[in-house]
């Protein structure tokens, strides 16, 4: 708030964990490491889900024995005739006829068949490899007149065929996809169509080709249907495995693909899309939600579960694996950090949760009601602990915590493992809190009983009420405050926002002062000193002012002390000397020959270079030394008298006047006057303000005036606020006066004090 304070963004641990988990998951997604996990999910979904096919397809199987037998051509030929006559729509021949022997596919199967336009030949890559040459079941004269389609894919990950291409392109030509032809759709080249494996082969009407060839089937089952004649190996190891339903003829892959298309295509969500959504949600939950973060996590978990369950019920394929890594990695990091935290969260000696745990709790509570952070200090704890065993210590602290919770059993008491117990409680009003703490103190008047021993507990309290401050600072502040309490006269101490601002202010004071000196927020004002003999202004006292843009005018009485602590006194003194000399020099008042008094704090008297500093500035400004008076304030704080004396003597030798400020108060008394070479005494306002009402004050002033005369020193009475006081001082023969009545401190040395002094004389 004050001065320069650079706040570095602190990334909360949760956000860091979310980011690390996301980075890891994206990396894993990028190299597709979790494909096996996706496949496991997809298999399960396929197995658990079920959809009924359109019923428009019929499967005619040719088993291995037939395919290997000598009559395969005749069987196929007869079957084609039967199927044609029975009114089938199209017939797809998806058989590896050339698989045995020398691979000759010059089959006689098509001979003498009418309506070959119904028949389609399905080509498959020769070596099962995707780009390989296509091999068709029959490759002779008749076959060349038949429409051809192709089944494109080689097996995907883990031997499953998850999708079919829209077109199968070879160097010489492009073939329609078998699945698309079966579904009567057009496939696009380069496009992948996902296969829904919730279908099962058992739901498809299946006939044996030998039965068909021998007319042993119900023709009604064929009418209007698309027939696929496929091959079934006797060795199940040779059959491809369907993700949802075990081994089946390879023809079921395009059959299922065709059914999927008929049912409206499988929607595919790739891993980067899923991961993007979950990573974003997780990040938002970690970064922005506080009290409802837990629910956000729950929702994300439910979302993820839904992404796994939905594909059982609808045609959907999601690559969820990478998101699983995201969530697991995040959960693991959070769990680990919590576990580590929980070890740190309980103090061994007291058995109570630690202040770290309270910090977390307060941070999490931020959005809730205003809370006071209360601290209790156990006085004489070390003596008590010395006589208690470990178990008894736990009992002791437990007993104290129980008493503290007397009004609110829900309260949680935290400990720093030492003499401080801290907690946070809902705050209503200062008064209520104060009386609550007083009541608690009363309760502790009764000793605790531990193992039959009576143990006294003496406790004082503090509370931090700076509601907006950071949790750890509030706790630190409550503890610092309770350390300032005392059993005898200050058992309870409450701190609030203003104190916090003051603390902040002090912390940044050093840079604030430098800043204020530079920007002109710190400047000099001038208050006239009037000679009561001549009625003329005989000089001005320069007083420092600080007009802070945020806090307004700050009293010098307040900030000069802070300045000293911040080690900025020399800088301020130099500034005031130079600034007031310059301002005075250019003012109209300068020509009347008066003096300029500048306040110098006595702590500067330990600085042996002060005379040099003064000389340098006099020279730099060109100010006559005999018109400068140094007012030494707060002489009580002179520590090293020898140095102070030599510094004052040196200043005196330079020719500047030396004034003892606030004479009569503190230790600005006779001893100081005696010890140092002052040329002027300023009698303090404390006496002057009372001379009209107090005979004692009047006598003191008279005596000081006499003292000044006898010592041949100038005497200034400060703090004259009315005519009566001025009159009395004039009558006493006081030579010089200063006060609001004669002139207030002004930004430029003013000239209008004359009038009032005349009035006093009449
Ligand atoms: P001081 O040197 O005794 O200054 C006199 C103080 O009394 C000034 O307060 C002045 O404004 C105030 N005053 C003057 N006439 C009257 C009056 O008739 N009635 C009342 N009630 N007050 C009057 P200020 O400016 O707040 O300064 C307070 C003290 O701060 C000064 O007491 C001095 O000890 C210190 N101070 C001020 N400026 C400087 C500075 O530049 N350097 C150092 N080291 N100390 C300074
Ligand atoms: Mg002064
Ligand atoms: Mg004074």
pLDDT in tens, 198-257: 998 888 989 999 898 898 988 888 888 999 999 888 776 677 778 877 788 888 989 999
Query: Do 386 and 435 touch, CB atoms closer than 8 A?
Result: no
Give the ranges where 509-591 is alpha helix by DSSP (H): 509-519, 556-565, 569-585
Measure the CA–CA gap between 333 and 329, rounded to whole angstroms: 6
Torsion of CA 342, 343, 347, 353, to 10 degrees: 0
Q: What average pLDDT is seen over the chain?
A: 86
Tens digit of each residue's pLDDT (9 = 90 or more) over 112-166: 777 778 888 888 877 656 667 788 888 887 788 888 888 876 667 677 888 888 8
Q: Any residues with Cβ below 6 Å from ligand 1, and which?
A: 527, 543-544, 555-557, 560, 576, 599-601, 631, 633, 661-662, 685, 718-721, 739-740, 745
3-state SS assignment for residue 141: coil
pLDDT of residue 755: 53
Q: Which of 182-196, 326-340, 363-377, 642-656 has the lowest mean pLDDT?
A: 363-377
Tens digit of each residue's pLDDT (9 = 90 or more) over 168-185: 888 778 888 898 989 888
Residue nearest to atom 41 of ligand 1 (CA): 544
Pocket-testing residue among 599, 601, 628, 719, ligand 1, by greatest number of atoms within 8 A of Cβ: 599
Atom of ligand 1 at shortest distance to CA of 576? 41
pLDDT of residue 128: 58
CA distances from 96 to 105, 106, 107, 128, 751 (A): 9, 12, 11, 12, 121
Residue nearest to atom 29 of ligand 1 (CA): 557
Q: Which of 77-81, 496-500, 630-634 has the lowest mean pLDDT?
A: 496-500
- Tokens representing 169 are 């392109």
- Tokens representing 9 are 């963004």
- Tokens representing 125 are 């890559």
Q: How confident is the model at residue 1 (pLDDT cuts 50, 70, 90)?
A: very low
Between residues 325 and 488, the one the model is more confident about: 325
Q: What is the pTM of this model?
A: 0.48
Ligand 2 centroid, distance to 662 Cα (angstroms): 7
| Residue 398 neighbours by CB under 8 Å, 6+ apart | 351
pLDDT of residue 227: 92
φ and ψ of 351, to 5 deg: 75, 5
Is the pLDDT at 10 greater than 60, yes or no? no
Measure the CA–CA gap between 688 and 726, rounded to whole angstroms: 10
pLDDT of residue 368: 56
φ and ψ of 292, to 5 deg: -100, 15
Query: Do 91 and 209 touch, CB atoms closer than 8 A?
Result: no
pLDDT of residue 410: 86
Instruction: Pick the closest to residue 153 from 117, 182, 184, 122 (CA basis).
Output: 122
Measure the CA–CA gap between 104 and 120, rounded to whole angstroms: 19
Measure the CA–CA gap between 724 and 78, rounded to whole angstroms: 141
Tens digit of each residue's pLDDT (9 = 90 or more) over 454-470: 888 889 999 998 887 78
Ligand 2 centroid, distance to 534 Cα (angstroms): 22
Give the ranges where 350-427 is alpha helix by DSSP (H): 355-364, 381-386, 390-404
Measure the CA–CA gap between 34 and 28, rounded to whole angstroms: 7
Measure the CA–CA gap between 64 and 523, rounded to whole angstroms: 107
- Tokens representing 96 are 């590896």
Is the pLDDT at 761 greater than 60, yes or no? no
Instruction: Pick the closest to residue 577 from 524, 529, 527 (CA basis).
Output: 524
Strand partners, 565: none
Tens digit of each residue's pLDDT (9 = 90 or more) over 363-401: 877 655 688 999 999 998 888 888 888 888 888 999 999
Is the pLDDT at 334 greater than 70, yes or no? yes
Atom of ligand 1 at shortest distance to CA of 745? 11
Ligand 3 centroid, distance to 685 Cα (angstroms): 7
Q: Which of 303-317, 410-424, 501-515 has the lowest mean pLDDT?
A: 501-515
Quote the distance between the C-alpha of residue 730 and its chain's center. 68
Between residues 288 and 500, the one the model is more confident about: 288
pLDDT of residue 99: 66
Atom of ligand 1 at shortest distance to CA of 740? 18
3-state SS assignment for residue 66: helix
pLDDT of residue 464: 92
Q: How many other C-beta atoms can be found within 10 angstroms of the C-beta atom of residue 128?
A: 10
Is the pLDDT at 5 greater than 50, yes or no? no
Is the pLDDT at 193 greater than 60, yes or no? yes
Ligand 2 centroid, distance to 633 Cα (angstroms): 6
Ligand 2 centroid, distance to 628 Cα (angstroms): 13
Measure the CA–CA gap between 759 and 570, rounded to whole angstroms: 42
Ligand 1 centroid, distance to 709 Cα (angstroms): 25
pLDDT of residue 137: 85
Measure the CA–CA gap between 628 and 617, rounded to whole angstroms: 11
Pocket-testing residue among 556, 584, 743, ligand 1, by greatest number of atoms within 8 A of Cβ: 556
Q: How many CA atoms lie within 13 A of 213 on its CB side?
A: 16
Measure the CA–CA gap between 197 and 361, rounded to whole angstroms: 50
Q: How confident is the model at residue 91 (pLDDT cuts 50, 70, 90)?
A: very high
Q: How confident is the model at residue 762 (pLDDT cuts 50, 70, 90)?
A: very low
């Amino acid at each position: 708030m004050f001065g320069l304070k650079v706040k570095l963004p602190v990334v909360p641990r949760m956000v860091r964990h979310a980011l690390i988990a996301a980075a890891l998951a994206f990396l894993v997604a990028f190299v597709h490491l979790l494909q096996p996990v996706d496949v496991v999910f997809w298999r399960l979904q396929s197995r658990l889900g079920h959809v009924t096919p359109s019923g428009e397809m019929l499967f005619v199987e040719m088993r291995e024995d037939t395919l290997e037998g000598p009559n395969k051509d005749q069987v196929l030929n007869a079957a084609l005739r039967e199927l044609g006559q029975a009114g089938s729509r199209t017939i797809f021949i998806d058989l590896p006829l050339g698989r045995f022997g020398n691979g000759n596919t010059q089959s006689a199967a098509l001979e003498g068949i009418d309506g070959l336009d119904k028949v389609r030949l399905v080509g498959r890559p020769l070596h099962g490899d995707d780009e390989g040459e296509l091999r068709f079941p029959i490759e002779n004269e008749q076959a060349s007149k038949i429409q051809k389609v192709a089944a494109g894919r080689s097996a995907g990950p883990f031997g499953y065929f998850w999708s079919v291409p829209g077109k199968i392109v070879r160097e010489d030509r492009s073939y329609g996809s078998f699945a698309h032809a079966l579904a009567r759709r057009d496939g696009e080249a380069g496009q992948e169509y996902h296969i829904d494996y919730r279908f099962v082969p058992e739901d498809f009407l299946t006939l044996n080709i030998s039965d068909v060839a021998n007319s042993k089937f119900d023709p009604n089952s064929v009418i209007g249907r698309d027939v696929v004649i496929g091959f079934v190996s006797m060795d199940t190891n040779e059959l491809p495995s369907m993700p949802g339903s075990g081994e089946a003829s390879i023809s079921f892959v395009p059959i299922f693909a065709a059914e999927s298309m008929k049912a409206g295509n499988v929607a595919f969500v790739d891993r980067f899309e899923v991961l993007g959504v979950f990573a974003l949600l997780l990040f938002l939950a970690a970064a922005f939600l506080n009290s409802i973060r837990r629910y956000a996590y729950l929702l994300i978990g439910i979302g993820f579960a839904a992404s796994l369950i939905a594909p059982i019920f609808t045609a959907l394929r999601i690559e969820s694996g990478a998101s699983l890594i995201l969530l697991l990695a995040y959960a693991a990091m959070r769990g680990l950090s919590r576990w580590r935290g929980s070890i740190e969260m309980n103090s061994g000696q007291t058995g109570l949760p630690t202040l770290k745990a309270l910090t977390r709790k307060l941070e999490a509570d931020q959005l809730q009601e205003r809370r006071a952070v209360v601290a209790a200090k156990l006085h004489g704890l070390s003596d008590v602990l010395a006589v208690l065993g470990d178990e008894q210590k736990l009992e002791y602290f437990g007993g104290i915590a129980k008493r503290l919770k007397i009004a609110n059993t829900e309260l949680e008491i935290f400990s720093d493992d030492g003499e401080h117990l801290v907690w946070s409680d809902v705050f209503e009003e200062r008064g209520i809190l104060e009386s609550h703490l007083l009541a608690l103190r009363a309760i502790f008047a009764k000793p605790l009983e531990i193992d039959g021993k009576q143990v006294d507990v003496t406790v004082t309290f503090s509370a931090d009420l700076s509601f907006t401050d950071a949790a750890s600072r509030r706790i630190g502040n409550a503890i610092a405050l309770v350390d300032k309490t005392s059993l005898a006269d200050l058992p309870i101490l409450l701190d609030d926002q203003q104190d916090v601002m003051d603390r902040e202010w002090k912390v940044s004071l050093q840079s604030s002062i430098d800043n204020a000196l530079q920007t002109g927020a710190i400047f000099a004002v001038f208050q006239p000193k009037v000679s009561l003999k001549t009625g003329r202004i005989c000089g001005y006292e320069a007083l420092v002012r600080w007009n802070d843009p945020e806090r307004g005018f700050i009293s010098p009485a307040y900030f000069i002390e802070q300045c000293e602590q911040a080690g900025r006194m020399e800088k301020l003194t130099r500034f005031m000397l130079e600034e007031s000399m310059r301002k005075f020099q250019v003012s109209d008042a300068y020509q009347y020959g008066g003096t300029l008094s500048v306040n110098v704090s006595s702590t500067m008297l330990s600085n042996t270079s002060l005379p040099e500093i003064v000389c340098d500035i006099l020279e730099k400004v060109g100010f006559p030394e005999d018109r400068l008076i140094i007012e030494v304030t707060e002489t009580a704080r002179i520590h090293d008298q020898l140095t102070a004396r030599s510094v004052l003597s040196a200043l005196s030798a330079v020719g500047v006047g030396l004034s003892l400020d606030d004479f009569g108060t503190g230790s600005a008394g006779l001893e100081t006057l005696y010890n140092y070479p002052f040329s002027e005494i300023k009698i303090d306002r404390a006496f002057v303000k009372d001379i009209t009402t107090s005979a004692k004050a009047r006598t003191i002033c008279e005596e000081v005036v006499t003292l000044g005369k006898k010592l041949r020193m100038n005497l200034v009475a400060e703090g004259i606020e009315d005519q009566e006081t001025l009159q009395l001082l004039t009558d006493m023969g006081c030579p010089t006066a200063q006060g609001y009545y004669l002139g207030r401190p002004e930004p430029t040395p003013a000239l209008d004090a004359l009038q009032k002094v005349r009035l006093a004389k009449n």
